[in-house]
Amino acid sequence: MGFWFWFFIYLAIGLGALVIYAFVGLQLLQKLKAFEAPAKKLAELAAKLEKTSKAEVTVESPVAALDQTEQAVTRRQNQIAKARKAKKEAKERRLVARLKHLDIDESRLRK
């Protein structure tokens, strides 16, 4: 077993390693291509979030009840109570809708 025998053995090992690296690189490239579409959607959402977070937030300052008439204060309290009731009813409707579409065979419910 001379020089050329060992030369071709090491050459085959080196070429085999390069083929394996190329195969792993191609698999990684395919995974990156599959990741591209969700990443693009995420980038759009991040841009939207950035735009929203930089927007000026306007908050209505509370008006002292002493500066208003009794009817205005009562009207405002009724509006607040009505909004709370509507919010609670909407939450109940969402819960009922979720319960209607509950799949009992879900894996997290099985023991």
For residues 54 and 65, membership in a common domain is answered with no
Q: In terms of residue numbers, what domain contains 44?
A: 1-58
What confidence score (pLDDT) does residue 64 get?
Answer: 72
Report the number of distinct structural domains present in the chain: 2
- What does pTM read for this prediction? 0.39
Residue 68 forms part of a structural domain? yes
Q: Decide: 58 and 50 in contact? Cβ < 8 Å.
A: no
Higher-pLDDT residue of 90, 61: 90
Terminal-to-terminal C-alpha distance of the chain = 65
Compute the average pLDDT of residues 64-76.
Answer: 82
For residues 18 and 50, membership in a common domain is answered with yes
Sign, CA dihedral 5-11-17-20, equals: negative
For residues 30 and 81, membership in a common domain is answered with no
Compute the average pLDDT of residues 9-28.
Answer: 96
Out of 1-15, 17-31, 37-51, 91-105, which region has the weakest mean confidence (pLDDT)? 91-105
Cβ atoms within 10 Å of 50's Cβ, excluding its own = 10
